[in-house]
Amino acid sequence: MADLSTVPSAGPQPRLLIWLHRCENGLLVLALALMVLLGVADLTLWQKLRLPVRIPGSESFIRHLSLIVGMVGGMIAARESRLLAMSGLAPFLPARIKRWMQFGSGVVACAITAGLTAAAIQFVAQEREAGLRLALGIPVWWAQVFLPLGFGVIAVRLLWQSAATWRWRLLAFALVAVAVGFAAKPPLDPARLVWPFVGLLLAATLGGAPIFVTLGGAALILFWGQGAPLFSITLDHYDQVTNPLLATLPLFTLAGYLLAESQASARLVRLFSAWTGFVRGGPAIVVALACAFFTTFTGGSGVTILALGGLLMPVLLAARYDEETALGLITSAGALGILFPPCLPLIIYSIVGQVSMNEMFLGGLLPGVLMVGLTIAYGVWKGPKLSAEERRFNLGEAWRATWAAKWEIVLPVIPLVLIFGGIALPVPAAAATACYAFITQALIHRELKLTSSLPKVVVECGLLVGGVLLILGTAMGFTNYLITQHIPDHAATWISTAISSKLLFLLALNLLLIIVGCLMDIFSATVVIVPLIVPMAAVFGIHPVHLGIIFLANLELGYLTPPVGLNLFLSSYRFGKPVMYVARAAMPMMAVRLLGVLLITYVPAITTWLPGLFGGN
């Protein structure tokens, strides 16, 4: 993440600002709550029971609520200085140079976001003239107006955070105004300025500019250089974030966050410990299963490491694992659930790669089990021998732990039964999963207070979703530029002449994706890289689901790979250890994970058997 050390600490805030922040939080909570309610009302169960609970136009409302959640969540992420960004060069530079670099990056980020705001205003103006309606007579532009509103607020906040004093903020504002005026009436041919501006954008990225600025800025600069209308970038953003299936992303993420912020983690650790603690390596089995469970629903290994790290590290140390092995296991296991449905990367890949979500869910099951099994095997191998007392199984404790975690055990079954049982489409199934998590954690266990902790959890969920949707939306403009220039087709043609062997292509693909995993986060990598590799894979007849799981498995490996492997930084932060120490501790697990990637790559049946069994291609 970007270093924001130059941003002053928050002091007493004006009442108006506090009120505005509460309005943002309340709007986000309301939008997510409406998504859950409308999705649950869409379950076919009610139709079979002949209960008239479905709201007319609910599918359209849910899609546009996703847009609102994305933009308001992005506004809050900007407010909290938590927009997703690469760490870049700033952390490694002297303090004075770092401040200058962050100032310049902030100016560029604000200028790009101002350009996205202007493009969004043009888009909404055209949509308003079209006079389209959602349902119940509500104009579509009432939801679309959140695009310019969100980008405008984010631009202001990026400007504010670019410096710590009013003098420098005023200078930043002046520079942004000059940049916007220059773009509106360039004194030179824009085509000649494209690559210098792209270079400036890359420098800002290295200085810590948010990832959505990099992707959206690339689209802005490239289309501006061609003299093309910039509102098309906003149109791509709008089409992406209102994709009918994308609503599953905030809903499944909400379910995961409700679990992560309750005591569900302690109950699950107790459950897995009770059933596996009596075998050698039992604590490693606990780590693998607990982490896979949480990452599946939270969508990111970061939440898993931060939420479970404090619980799992004492379990491993008490079982006499050495500190380095324990640290490597937890750091690696944080990304285990990425291949299990309904994890966010699976959903995003199915949308970007235009692959059936059901097939992606099925295709990820066995590879996910393989990765968990390899992690468990390594943990068992490294586990110390147990004494006779430690090998005793306590049936009473196992039953009590199972009963205590009975509500959490059912959670993964709900979306699978609803979707694959033909009872519900993915969005209603996701809404039902989030509703179930709310009922069990807030009403049955009463561990989330309705007026205090629950709104905070929902806002935290929306903040993450907003950051991800900003990346997905802005990246679509850049991706569409690549497509209009036929770059994926040219790449496929070149690869077919340069490489004749399918096995060699798969090896080259793995090497490419490992490098991508070292340099990019999984969300932006999916939107940018997948449209490029899909035509290449088609040349060699690689099954689309197989390609998707290969891609995600490599990016999962990227979480452990220096220099920007996310799990390394999160474990370093969570356990107070140097990043290089964490990287060394994770090296054996990197080798284990690489073995899993190779098996998934060169044994396609591991991925394609279940989709084929249940009617896939």
Q: Which of 40-54, 157-171, 290-304, 414-428 has the highest mean pLDDT?
A: 157-171
C-alpha to C-alpha distance for 469 and 284, rounded to whole angstroms? 34
Q: Which residue has the higher pLDDT, 228 or 307?
A: 228
Confidence of residue 520 (pLDDT cuts 50, 70, 90): confident
Instruction: Give pLDDT, residue 7.
Output: 40
Mean pLDDT is highest, among 109-118, 238-247, 476-485, for: 109-118
- For the chain, percent of residues with pLDDT exceeding 90: 36
Whole-angstrom Cα distance, residue 397 to residue 404?
10
pLDDT value, residue 345? 87
pLDDT digits (tens, 9 = 90+) for 123-140: 999 999 988 888 778 999
* Low-confidence winner among 5-14, 263-272, 274-283, 447-456 (lowest mean pLDDT): 5-14
- Whether residue 114 is predicted with pLDDT greater than 60 in this model: the reply is yes
SS3 114: helix
Exposed / middle / buried, residue 158 (Cβ in 10 Å: 0-12, 13-18, 19+): buried
Q: pLDDT for 238-259, tens place per residue?
A: 998 998 888 888 898 898 888 8
Q: What is the pLDDT of residue 67?
A: 95
- Rounded to an integer, what distance in angstroms lies between the CA atom of residue 355 and that of residue 49? 32
Between 516 and 5, residue with greater pLDDT: 516
Angstrom distance (rounded) from CA 483 to CA 486: 5
Identify residue 241 by its one-letter amino acid code.
V
The rounded mean pLDDT for the chain is 86
Per-residue pLDDT for 300 more than 70?
Answer: no
Place of tokens 């300025």: 193
Sketch the domain layout of the chain as residue ranges: 15-241, 253-447, 484-613
- pLDDT band of 11, cuts 50, 70, 90: low
pLDDT at residue 303, as a whole number: 66
Please report the pLDDT score of residue 3 as a whole number.
Answer: 36
pLDDT above 50 (res 8): no
Q: What pLDDT does 293 receive?
A: 86
For residue 407, the model assigns a pLDDT of: 93
pLDDT for 87 equals 59
Q: Could you tell me which of 415, 407, 425 has the C-alpha nearest to residue 297?
A: 415
pLDDT-wise least confident of 171-185, 369-383, 567-581: 567-581
How much is the pLDDT for 334? 81
Task: Give the integer Cα–Cα distance in Å for 364 and 485.
Answer: 32
DSSP letter at 7 equals S
